Amino acid sequence: MPQLIVGLGNPGDKYAQTRHNIGFRVIDALAQAWHIPLAQHSKFHGLFGEGITPGLGKIRLLKPTTYMNQSGQSVRAVLDWYKLPLNSILVIYDDADLALGRVRIRLGGSSGGHNGMRSIISHGGSEQFPRLRVGIANEFRLNQKGPRDAVPYVLANFSSEDLKVLPDVLDLAVAAVTACVREGVEQSMNLYNGRVLQWR
């Protein structure tokens, strides 16, 4: 069962509303749902909080504030401090090729070109740790033909249409993370990987 939930994003107001920061938003939603306050911890290079949640036990939440491509430094610091194995984490991050309204849980795998994941794999020394990808691709992006450059898209703010459904997306992600902690990652894959939010 995951003991450290990590949400990826970039620090600062400039990036706060971007699609790339959906991992930060999910951590904020989890902190609110589980009543776990977050505070800056210099030794962890990030915003961190821990608490005991009924039915889930002790939970730790982390938002690395190292910028995306150094996220592994923050994760490594927490793992070393609490003597946790790499596979005890669950990393939440954006996927520009997965539809908005979907999540995808995996037990391991490559970074898929995501700089934050690449950093965690590098600092952790393995690809074998659970992760939850949150879809951020709207219909316009999904219907684009030819090569699609992800960088401008992920660093842009959510559109006004996307913002209307974002609360539902966050609720789905919170439910999926909760299931991972309560039921286990493998069982949660069966529950959530095929689920699609319907709002159109």
Tell whether 153 is in a known binding site. no
The alpha carbon dihedral of 140, 142, 145, 147 has a sign of positive
Tell whether 21 is in a known binding site. no
Tell whether 143 is in a known binding site. no
20, 35, 45, 114: the active-site residue: 20
Cα 157 to chain centroid, rounded: 17
CA–CA gap between residue 169 and residue 175 (Å, rounded): 10
Tell whether 192 is in a known binding site. no
CA–CA gap between residue 1 and residue 162 (Å, rounded): 32
Q: With beta carbons less than 8 A apart as the criterion, state whether 109 and 127 touch.
A: yes
Residue 50, classified by CB atoms within 10 Å of its CB into exposed (0-12), middle (13-18) or buried (19+), is middle
- Is 20 catalytic? The answer is yes
| DSSP H or E run through 4 | strand 4-7
Binding-site positions: 15, 67, 69, 115
Query: Hey, which residues are catalytic here?
Result: 20
Binding-site positions for tRNA: 15, 67, 69, 115
